[in-house]
Amino acid sequence: MDILTLGEIKNQKLTRASLEVLSEAKRLANGKKVINVLIGNNLKDFSALISSYGASEILLIEDPSLGEFNSQSYSEILVNIIKEKKPALFLLPANIHGKEIAALVSAKLEISLISDCTDLKIKDNLLEYIHPIYSGKVIAAYQSLTSFQAAALRPNIFPLIEENPNNQAQIIHLSFIPQDNLKIKLLEVLKPKEETLEISEARIIVSGGRGLKEAENFKLLEELAEVLGAAVGASRLAVDAGWRDHQYQVGQTGKVVSPDLYIACGISGAIQHLVGMSSSKCIIAINKDPEANIFKVANYGIVGDLFEVVPLLTEEFKKILTN
Ligand SMILES: Cc1cc2nc3c(=O)[nH]c(=O)nc-3n(C[C@H](O)[C@H](O)[C@H](O)COP(=O)(O)OP(=O)(O)OC[C@H]3O[C@@H](n4cnc5c(N)ncnc54)[C@H](O)[C@@H]3O)c2cc1C
């Protein structure tokens, strides 16, 4: 069963989520081809890395007009490739761009799509998918009954395979004629005020809620995050209060994250927050209320005042990690 995957470039780097998708494709391919598509501008530098993650073919579609993401152009390119290559499965990351493309491609091809998939396996020659629904309260298992299916994989869930620098993928350049019927045009990319780690890619996240009381107090979390090499996230109430930008919001109306370690500081653990972080591999909660809901999903709980606990953690981690 050939598998088509989509690579994604951000800040001139292949995202970890794309490598996870490639890794999962390689695990499922069972000797069949993994074909990775890369769309953008100046793409040749990425081929070696994609190859080392087991791709058999790399399709490069390069054009200056593709340098910035455009869902219409990207999805039309993918639809044409899928029609020609006829893979059994199309995998891509379930992040902002990936989810948009997955929906467009599936609609255009009239195929089913499993979005935000957290597990994928082949049983009796049929694909089975796991996908959390109802804000993560229910885990749904699906079985594919069609010969072709698309799935967007939740980032930070699927482990990376070991790189094999000896693997040599075949590199194929496909031509692209810029379309003149674009319905959307990118005018400007608004960069965040300060460059901080992107939460959906981070392995460690230190997150703050209303317990932080004011924007300036996020500095405490930034200090801890710097020592740990972590990103700083926030609950919706912290975002609504204007303490943090929306791009750092974790939860139902923010981002779904699955880091190795999630440290929740002054966050009560409302269901809309839990749906965004409960698949983290290890959760530490710091809250002064021993009854706080967040402790129900935490692996480790610290009942205490975050204004005392967080600086102590920063000090201790600094001692351990800098020695
Ligand atoms: C449709 C919808 C979508 C939503 N989407 C999201 C979403 O995406 N993400 C999200 O987060 N929420 C979302 N919410 C809001 C959610 O319901 C909660 O209101 C929100 O998560 C609560 O944020 P919080 O935990 O920061 O604040 P609170 O619930 O007020 O909790 C603050 C916590 O801080 C603790 N605390 C206070 N002072 C200290 C201290 N000094 N030391 C230690 N602990 C302290 C308190 O004990 C308390 O537990 C959504 C709600 C709706 C209705």
Give 154-171 pLDDT, tens digit per residue.
988 899 999 999 999 999
pLDDT digits (tens, 9 = 90+) for 184-198: 888 888 776 666 788
Atom of ligand 1 at shortest distance to CA of 208?
26
Choose the final residue of a domain: 136, 159, 174. 174
Is 225 within a domain? yes
Is 154 within a domain? yes
pLDDT at 47 over 90: yes
Q: Are residues 167 and 208 in the same domain?
A: no
Mutate to test the pocket of ligand 1, among 207, 213, 221, 236 (most ligand atoms within 8 A of CB): 236
201 alpha carbon – ligand 1 mean position (Å): 23
Q: Are residues 21 and 157 in the same domain?
A: yes
Residues 6+ apart with CB under 8 A from 120: 24, 28, 127, 128, 129, 130, 151, 153
252 alpha carbon – ligand 1 mean position (Å): 12
Nearest CA to ligand 1 atom 22: 237
Helix (H, G, I), strand (E, B) or coil at 285: strand
Is 191 within a domain? no
Q: What pLDDT shows up at residue 226?
A: 95
- What secondary structure, in 3-state letters, does 31-76 show? CCCEEEEEEECCCHHHHHHHHHCCCCEEEEEECHHHCCCCHHHHHH
> How many CB atoms are located within 10 Å of the residue 316 CB?
11
Atom of ligand 1 at shortest distance to CA of 266?
34
pLDDT digits (tens, 9 = 90+) for 7-19: 999 888 999 999 9
Q: What pLDDT shows up at residue 193?
A: 66
Q: Are residues 212 and 318 in the same domain?
A: yes
303 alpha carbon – ligand 1 mean position (Å): 16
Domain around 211: 204-322
Q: What is the CATH number of the domain that holds 211?
A: 3.40.50.1220
143 alpha carbon – ligand 1 mean position (Å): 36
Is 182 within a domain? no
Q: Are residues 71 and 143 in the same domain?
A: yes
Q: What pLDDT shows up at residue 206?
A: 98
Measured distance CA(35)–CA(54) in Å, rounded: 9
154 alpha carbon – ligand 1 mean position (Å): 24
Q: Are residues 159 and 262 in the same domain?
A: no
Mean pLDDT within 79-84: 95
Report the run of H or E that residue 83 belongs to, with start and end: helix 71-85
Q: Are residues 13 and 155 in the same domain?
A: yes
